[in-house]
Structure 1
Amino acid sequence: MEIINFFLDEQIDDKKKKRIKELSKTLKKVGVEMQIYESESGMQMLAVEVDLMKTNTVIEQHSRNAGRKKKAQRLGCITPQEFLQKVEENGVDRVAEEYDISRRTVYRRIKLAKEAEEELFWNE
């Protein structure tokens, strides 16, 4: 639990207190609580308490893994040179069928493999 205190320059009226309370109710769902305290001298302070474990849990649960998955990621397990050799031996059609990718993707990968020269990994 982490607590952050903000000292307020101006007095918070009842309308603003109500809005802060509503915001606090919403943020409580993700592990954040807010309260307004008033000291003996009349200074007001906004205390924000953050439950980092709950916040991280909410973030993990709501993170999206959206988008179309790349079929060509399967090519990452061979070096660019091995890919070029496979294309030379088997041809574009056969390689496209083997990796379940389009001919166009094979040609794009050939271009990337030639640019990679002696590197061990694909440049993407």
Structure 2
Amino acid sequence: MDTRFPDLRQYGGAEAFLRACKPNTVLEMFTGKWNGLVMGALLDGPRRFNELRRMLDGITQKMLSQTLRTLERDGLASRTVYPTIPPRVDYELTDLGRSAIGVLQAIGAWAGEHADEVIAAREAYDTKAQEPVRSV
């Protein structure tokens, strides 16, 4: 067993709720705003950096660079540099990255189906939060 991720279930702790739980460290890649969008943009095949930047409305050059580096580090995307002048660099999903697309599509489908409900709940919460506190 990996000593960085001790199994605390024997002490009554649910491993899934532990900060160092292996699956939780991997789930972090789905919680960033741009990771899933960049992966979706790479779904149809290799793309160049500026092509991705044009596709992803609102992403900065710095954020796209960071996201691509993270996806490459996690084994979800690969970077290929071609020896041309200027150098050509393509990014594409790896087999591991393509295997995660179903999860991202399910999250996207759920978000599309429930967006109105979530937005209404936010608005109701914000309205209630602006009301003065009443003593009980």
Fold conserved between structures, TM > 0.5: no
- Whose relative contact order is higher, 1 or 2, with alpha carbons under 8 Å and at least 6 apart? 1
Q: TM-score, normalised by structure 1?
A: 0.28
Structure showing greater radius of gyration is 1
Q: TM-score, normalised by structure 2?
A: 0.26
Could you say which structure has the higher strand fraction? 1
